Structure 1
Amino acid sequence: MQTSNTDKKVPADQRPKLKRSIIDCDIHHATGMNAIKPYLPRAYQELVKQYGPALPGGMHFNGGVGGRMADAYPEGGGSAGSDLELMKKQHLDRYNVEYGILTGEGYAMHATPNYDYAAAICRAINEYTIEHWLSRESRLRGSVFISKQEPKLASQEIDRVGGRPDMVQVIVSSGASLPYGNRFYDPIYEACVRHNLPFTIHVGLEGEGINSPHTGAGYVTHYIEQRCARPAVMAAHLASFIFDGVFERFPALKVVLQEAGVLWLAPFLWKLDQEWKGLRVQTPWVRKKPSEYFREHIRVTTQPFEETPNREIFDHLLESIYAKETLMFCSDYPHWDYDSPSQALPKLDHELWDSIYYQNAAKLYGLPQRQTEEMK
């Protein structure tokens, strides 16, 4: 159900436009060290100049050209996702994107044991994003980067910029040393609730630096294995949120699972409900079926979407994950496996399409209803 090969061969700025405007929940603007270094404290600028970024990451080969679409690199040089005008031409204008949520790049600071340095990088990314992106394009919204390894510093950063109307979520990598339901992270969730911000888990940095291995069996050899292991990592975080009682402690908290696939959630929810029925005496604070917590608190983004053998299975699995309420579109622009909004999903009925491509995200992020007229 991902973008067709034919669509990927057509230059991005020549692909068909959409008639109705959409919200894209995952646009990766470039936030590499060259971009954010001026926003670091001078001491870190000097250390980076002398010794390099000193961050984990890059254990496995990626796809595409440097992990990006070949035509997403600016003609004048620079990395993919670094040029706002090119992004507008290829994606925002081309696909009638009413709002796009910026999700940055790399996340390597989420795997370093140097907590102060990680916090400084996150602050620099946030400042760079505000000045160079959000101030220049009204359709874009930002994600608050935090050093989730140190919840006190993380909550301070949420309090510092989380009240801005152009910052609409808190973002972390799925790679972690502890599953995200652990009470260690409670100060982060307290700050998220204070500012009415969803907590978004984006794939990446599994098995890197201080983070736990990609799988329960250990580290993997190839990138394809890492991609295939990501649903299991997200599943561990999801189970942890539910059974450690996060949604009972923070009933207003919303969590987004980003870029780890979608349809695997259906049988996983069935298993969570089944196991809870037999073992709920061990977690009496879990008052509802796990699938009910999922439906109320969890949102999932579309990319990369699994292909199914037939449409009947596709429709059944969508219904099983309450897609009309929980699923939100994301393109992953400008990554190599970018999903064109016109090709990401098969034909849907009007109401379901509107929920996935606009309404669910608008409700979650507090965004206005469509301002753009339907394109003829």
Structure 2
Amino acid sequence: MTIDTTHERKVGSEQVQVRVVDSDVHPTPRYGEIDQFISDRLRTLLAQRSAMAGNPVYYDAPDYNHAFAMRTDSFPDDGNFAGSDPDLTFRQLIMDAGSDIAILGPLPNGGQTDEEAHELAAAYNKWQDTCWLDSENNWHQRYRGSICAAIEMPEEGAREIEHWVGHPYMSQVLINAEPRPSWGHPKYDPVWEAATRHDIPVACHLGRGQHNELPMSPVGFMTYNHDLMVSYSMLAANQVMSLIFDGVFDRFPTLKIVLIEHAFNWILPLMWRMDAIYAARGPENGLKRKPSEYVKDHIWFTTQPLDYPEDKLELTNALEWMEADKLLLFSSDYPHWTFDDPQWVAKHMPEQWRDKIMFQNSIDLFHLPSTVPALPGQKRPY
């Protein structure tokens, strides 16, 4: 899709209220674009690995061989990958879909060691700053970035946070959930400490992991993409329990965790079960509050994927019981094929909570502006 951007690079003189904050948008480097930010050694290794036979993506989505699980219209005409063109993303996500602020969540991949994961995380931070958050590509002031931090190397990850936390367009820290041990282990405290000291949320996106960290159910590896899509929330559930029962939120009382694309309806029965065990066994592990209270004060979830039952009342009841108005952040998952249009999501949220879920929770959590410069012709989803 070719876009004439000559008429787009201007904003209105007035400010408009933010009505949609998209908390899950995936930019991708153009071919060779990340090379300038990594060492010659890693560049050579990545090139060698890309030339090897075989598909590194496990549990492929049904359309993977066709469009790599992306929206087919999100591939730019220059032959680069979906989500690699800031202008095309701006047109489709901001102008046509109506998101007012998009939080970019790049997904560095290709590293096979902890050191490589850290180098790639640092490179993606420089890449965001240079290729998406600069005045040329973020002229509209709608993009916000994520500080990629390799949780595998907590000290180095903390240094990345310290380096980038003052950036005017960096809104969260982004880590992986797959590395062992679980997040409750004290080895990760440098990341939590740096994030809380600067009052910046720590987010984690669904990932497949690599090698010994491939996702596995309690009874072994999954068979199909269907199994993965249903069961991957178990990883997030275990991290939630680790954060609570291992005392992370007591050690860091202001820590904020965002679980991106891990679904969310499972948190309701998990809170019930954690509270029941806590009531039966008592605070033997030193917890100061009921487990559900930690969830409601420290953890947020994105709306995509939105599991929508046939009876909408069932969804409304579940959202009410889990106090979703406090926990949910709108997300589209652009440019993936599972993209949720903000107009569609807003329609399915209870009216009394719509504003909080679609924009206000994100404004409060990420310290975003409540108004942005107007863009002539931008869609307003509701």
Q: TM-score, normalised by structure 1?
A: 0.87
List per-residue Cα deviations over 1:268-308 (Å, max 9, x = no partner). Answer: 11111111111234212x11111111111011100001112
Instruction: Give the letter aligned to residue 38 of structure 1.
Output: Q
Instruction: Give the letter aligned to residue 341 of structure 1.
Output: P
Question: 1:69, CA displacement in angstroms?
Answer: 0.8
The change in CA–CA distance for 1:226 and 1:347 in structure 2 (over 3 A counts) is closer
Aligned residues of 1:108 and 1:205 also touching (Cα < 8 A):
no
Structure 2 residue aligned with 1:142: 145
Instruction: Give the letter aligned to residue 182 of structure 1.
Output: H
Instruction: Give the letter aligned to residue 289 of structure 1.
Output: K
Structure 1 residue aligned with 2:258: 256
Determine the C-alpha separation between the residues in 2 that align with 1:245 and 1:371: 39
Structure 1 residue aligned with 2:202: 199
Structure 2 residue aligned with 1:368: 369
Q: CA RMSD in A?
A: 2.3
Structure 2 residue aligned with 1:23: 21
User: Would you say 1:118 and 2:117 are equivalent positions?
Assistant: yes
Work out which of the residue numbers 165, 183, 188 in structure 1 matches 2:186.
Answer: 183
In the alignment, structure 2 segments of 5+ residues that lack a partner are: 1-16
Count of aligned positions:
353
In the alignment, structure 1 segments of 5+ residues that lack a partner are: 1-18
List per-residue Cα deviations over 1:19-71 (Å, max 9, x = no partner). Answer: 973100000001477331221023322343455499x9412212431110111
User: Would you say 1:84 and 2:86 are equivalent positions?
Assistant: yes
User: Would you say 1:316 and 2:314 are equivalent positions?
Assistant: no
Structure 1 residue aligned with 2:7: none
Aligned residues of 2:261 and 2:304 also touching (Cα < 8 A):
yes
Aligned residues of 1:257 and 1:298 also touching (Cα < 8 A):
yes
Aligned residues of 2:18 and 2:370 also touching (Cα < 8 A):
no
The change in CA–CA distance for 1:143 and 1:86 in structure 2 (over 3 A counts) is same
Paired residue secondary structure (1:267): helix
List per-residue Cα deviations over 1:168-214 (Å, max 9, x = no partner). Answer: 111123322222122221111011112211111110124x2242642
Question: 1:76, CA displacement in angstroms?
Answer: 2.4
Question: 1:259, CA displacement in angstroms?
Answer: 0.4
Structure 2 residue aligned with 1:217: 219
Aligned residues of 2:203 and 2:259 also touching (Cα < 8 A):
yes
Question: 1:155, CA displacement in angstroms?
Answer: 1.0
The change in CA–CA distance for 1:336 and 1:88 in structure 2 (over 3 A counts) is same
Aligned residues of 1:175 and 1:203 also touching (Cα < 8 A):
no
Determine the C-alpha separation between the residues in 1 that align with 2:31 and 2:273: 42
Moved over 6 A (4+): none
Instruction: Give the letter aligned to residue 22 of structure 1.
Output: V
**Structure 1 segment 298-317 matched on structure 2, within 5 A:** 298-317=299-318
Q: TM-score, normalised by structure 2?
A: 0.86
Aligned residues of 1:38 and 1:45 also touching (Cα < 8 A):
no
Structure 2 residue aligned with 1:34: 32
| More divergent stretch after superposition (358-367 vs 275-284) | 275-284
Determine the C-alpha separation between the residues in 2 that align with 1:288 and 1:82: 45
Determine the C-alpha separation between the residues in 1 that align with 2:86 and 2:360: 25
| More divergent stretch after superposition (329-338 vs 159-168) | 159-168
Paired residue secondary structure (1:303): coil
Structure 2 residue aligned with 1:62: 61
Determine the C-alpha separation between the residues in 1 that align with 2:187 and 2:218: 21
| More divergent stretch after superposition (313-322 vs 340-349) | 340-349
Determine the C-alpha separation between the residues in 1 that align with 2:51 and 2:184: 30
Determine the C-alpha separation between the residues in 1 that align with 2:214 and 2:342: 34
Q: Percent identity?
A: 28
Determine the C-alpha separation between the residues in 2 that align with 1:83 and 1:280: 54
The change in CA–CA distance for 1:108 and 1:316 in structure 2 (over 3 A counts) is farther
Aligned residues of 1:24 and 1:330 also touching (Cα < 8 A):
yes
Determine the C-alpha separation between the residues in 2 that align with 1:215 and 1:326: 26
Determine the C-alpha separation between the residues in 2 that align with 1:180 and 1:341: 32
The change in CA–CA distance for 1:143 and 1:294 in structure 2 (over 3 A counts) is same
Determine the C-alpha separation between the residues in 2 that align with 1:91 and 1:122: 25
Paired residue secondary structure (2:100): strand
